[in-house]
Every structure is written in structure tokens, then in C-alpha cells.
Structure 1
């Protein structure tokens, strides 16, 4: 199945449709057609042109493929197409936030290699069974493989745990470089901070506020919304490639008020794991 390469995006300007290079912002193809649904056309050429499809948008997609096949890439594996769908949606959204053309080009090359090889990122979970819907959500993410073992693994990209579990793991940097805490407090849901455990000490969490707090199903689904975006930014190395990323939980945590569901960012003080003393 042929899909438009991540580098290219479908745009609509007045009565014209065009395919634009999101690195150079140049139009590589422009066309004007009647009785074509723009959003349906995008869906087809972004996520797969089927040879047997007969609707007008699919026929146009096949014509575009025939006109310039270099704009498209073929993915046969279902896993690659599922991953492409998610990456494409985020690429469309994030493209205007990159700080440079070099940054977006690095991201696109990395993403295409992940999609092509079907590589997934490994996440080790220490959630004490407190977030079953979050666990189910992570298991279904096309770019994530979850591990529940409490033993140290050979290679882990990220460890996600409750504040209590993260605090109790000795030498946590041996488990994973990055650690992300989840918490259900009496008045708020908390995600983060995202800690580089090789550089910073695990902060003092307010674990006592978790004891009697039970999370509700829809609250977990809300956490999943934030969690997916955080994981995508972290695992696809986007944090230093984009601007206006203050809501990302590095040295802070994302909090959701359980009463009014408003989200806000709360600063967390992190102390370096190794301090160097200078003698004057």
C-alpha cells in the first residue's frame, strides 16, 4: 500500500489542492479538481491508496502516485501502517513548531526509519495495578512495548511507575535512563516529572496523599491523552527540536485538577546526582 512520505503534506489554498514539502515549504505539486472531498483525499493518500478502491478521491490518489511515485512510499506490514498513521498525525500537528529545517529533517529521517523497521520503544511498568486503563492503553500504542517484570532488563527506553514504586527502586538509573512518575492524589492527577535518573536524584514525592485516592475510569482516559503526547515527544527525540514546549514535564509535572479537570504545570525541584566541589 502506497502512502505519501512524511516529508510531504496535503494543503488546500482557495480552490487549489497542493502537496507541500514541510521542510522547504515549497509546493511540489498543485492541482484543481471538482467534486473531491479534501479531508477524504488527505486520509487516502496519507494512510494508504488501495488499488481496488473506486471512489473519486482514491482514483485521484492513484493518478498522483502515477504522476510522481517519488513522493510516495510503500508499506506492506500492518504494523508499519498503524505506526505511520500515528506519526503522520503528530507530524502534521508539530510541523510548525520546529526550531529549524535541520531539526525537522532529523526527526523525519528518524521517524521513517522507525516506521520502516517496525522498531518499538521499550517501557518498563511499575504501576502496582493502580492504572489498569493506562496499562491497556500503553499496550496498544503502536510505538511501545511494555514490560511488567520487576527485574532489571537489558535495554529499556523509559520506566513508568507510581511515585511510591519509583522511590523504592534502588539504583534506578540501572533500570532506565529516564523515569516518569504517575500519581492519583486526592485533588489532582499528576504526570511527571520526567527524570533523567543518571543525572538527577528522585525528588521527595508526597506519597501519603496517594493512599486513599482511587482513580476513576474516565480520569485514566484523560491521563492517557497527555501520556501519549509526552511519550511521543520523548521517544522521538523532539524535546530539543521544538519551541513553545513548556508543558512538557521535564523539571515539572503535568497536573489535572480532579474537580474542574483544568490542567496546569507545577515546578518540581530536581537536584543533581553528582555535585562537583571547586576549591578556590
Structure 2
């Protein structure tokens, strides 16, 4: 199965179709669209094809794709498995979402390093969701569908003795946030989430290796029903955060995309109005310096 590499995109410019190298900024090839359907051609290039593919409805588009592949074979990656193909499809979708926000082309290199690692080891990013057995199960199932992550879910009881773990991001229900009160040595990145009777909350993201854990107001433990649609809305934000944080692209973004690095993002369930609340984070280095100065 072949798939177009991430830094190549299909462009339609007034009836002239071209494949552009976004890494170098040049056009690799161009041709008249004639009777070609742009959406069909894009789907074949972006979601993968084999040299034996044929569809009566997409015959002309397949012909063009196979011709391009024959003339410019270096434009394409070969995927050994469906899972590998899905990883690349998922990454491209995220690239499309954030394309206008990137400062430079460095994000391609960072993602390519992950792809090379994945091709060699089949290792994805490891993500842990800590929540009660009756909370965030739909969110967990949605996270399982993110192709470039392996996600586990643990209850408070199972996670209570966690000291060090291999997870690159830990998503923790605010109800269980106090589990990390004595884990300042832990180097995991934490993302706090919460759904209460009135609001859906995301953030802050805490880079635990660099910052002290802030004191957060504990969530209410009152019983209420969480709707699947509410968890789906929460997932919309969490998935964007996963992409930026796991691939370490936060320094490649030139504008505020609502990443809750030093704030908590709140969505009112009734009105769907959003608000942002600052959360003060103190660097560990500053804390250590202050402590040292007081000892003299």
C-alpha cells in the first residue's frame, strides 16, 4: 500500500492540479484537471492505494495516481500494514487542521522522526487515562481510535501506587488529581480533565519535570449522568492537545490555538460558551533556588 508523504500536498489552482513540496516550497508536477475529480484524487493520494487497485468510479483518478507514482516514486511511502497506513492518515489530518498555524517546516522533521521510530519498533506514543471505572469510558474508546497512540485506562485504585511509568502523557480526572500530590519527581506530562453538572473542563497541561503541581480545587463527587456527546466534545479538544504535545509542536505554532498550557478551558454545557481561567504554575528551578537562598 502506497501513500503520499506528509510534506507533499495536492493543490487545485484554477483547474491546474499540482503536487507541492511544502518542505522545500516547490512544485513537483502539474497537470490539467480535465475530467478529474479533485476530491477523489486527493482521497487516493492521502489514504493510500496499491498498484492493483481499480474502481470503475475512480478509474481515471487511479490512472493518474499510478502514473505519478511511476514517474515520481520518491513522493510515496510504502506501508507494510493497515495500522501503519492509519497512523500516517491520522497525522495528515492533523497537519491539515494546523497547516496555517505553523511557523516553519520543522514540524515535518519531528513527525518524520516518529514515523522512522514507528517503522523500526512499531512503538506508538503511550498515553494513560486515570479515571473511575464508571467515568470517561466513552472518552477512552475514542482515544483508542487515535492511530498514533497506545492508551491505557486505570482506576484510582490501580493507579494509586504509580511512582514512575513509561507514559508520555497522563490524562487525569480532576477527582483523582490528588494522586500526584507526592509525585513531584515524576516526569510525565499531565492533562487535567473534568465534567461536572454544569461544565466541561480541559487543562491545564502540566510539564511535571519543569513545574510544581499547582493546587487545584477538587471536583465535586456528586452523582450525575455524563452524556456520550459531552465526552465526544471533550475528546475534540483532547485529541488536538495530544497531537501538539506528543509531537512536541508547541514551539512550532505561531498563534494561540487554545492550548491550555497555563490555563483551564471551560465550556458551559447549556450555552456551549467557552472561557479561559489562568492557572499559576511555578517552575521547579525557581522553587529550588528560593529554598537554597533561605538556608543561608
TM-score when normalising by structure 2: 0.86
Name the CA distance, whole Å, in 2 between partners of 1:142 and 1:186: 31
- Structure 1 residues 43-192: aligned runs within 5 Å: 43-50=43-50, 51-54=52-55, 55-101=59-105, 103-114=106-117, 116-117=119-120, 118-129=122-133, 130-147=135-152, 148=154, 149-150=158-159, 151-152=161-162, 154-192=165-203
Deviations 1:68-88 (A, max 9, x none): 111111102111011111101
Conserved? CA contact 1:183–1:210, under 8 Å:
no
Deviations 1:245-276 (A, max 9, x none): 34001011221111111333321112234511
State the shift of 1:231 in Å. 0.6
In structure 2, do the counterparts of structure 1 residues 228 and 107 end up closer, same or farther at CA, with 3 Å as the change threshold? same
Q: RMSD of aligned C-alpha atoms?
A: 2.1
Name the CA distance, whole Å, in 2 between partners of 1:64 and 1:104: 26
Name the CA distance, whole Å, in 2 between partners of 1:226 and 1:77: 29
2:218 is aligned with 1:217: no
Name the CA distance, whole Å, in 2 between partners of 1:210 and 1:243: 39
Query: For 2:39, what is the secondary structure of its paired residue?
Result: helix
Q: Which residue of 1 aligns with 2:243?
A: 232
State the shift of 1:126 in Å. 1.3
In structure 2, do the counterparts of structure 1 residues 173 and 193 end up closer, same or farther at CA, with 3 Å as the change threshold? same
Query: For 2:220, what is the secondary structure of its paired residue?
Result: helix
TM-score when normalising by structure 1: 0.91
Name the CA distance, whole Å, in 1 between partners of 2:100 and 2:114: 17
Query: For 1:253, what is the secondary structure of its paired residue?
Result: strand
In structure 1, runs of 5+ residues without a counterpart are none
Name the CA distance, whole Å, in 2 between partners of 1:43 and 1:166: 42
Name the CA distance, whole Å, in 2 between partners of 1:35 and 1:91: 28
2:251 is aligned with 1:248: no
In structure 2, runs of 5+ residues without a counterpart are none
Q: Which residue of 1 aligns with 2:3?
A: 3
| Number of residues of Structure 1 aligned to a counterpart in Structure 2 | 279
In structure 2, do the counterparts of structure 1 residues 261 and 131 end up closer, same or farther at CA, with 3 Å as the change threshold? same
In structure 2, do the counterparts of structure 1 residues 233 and 210 end up closer, same or farther at CA, with 3 Å as the change threshold? farther
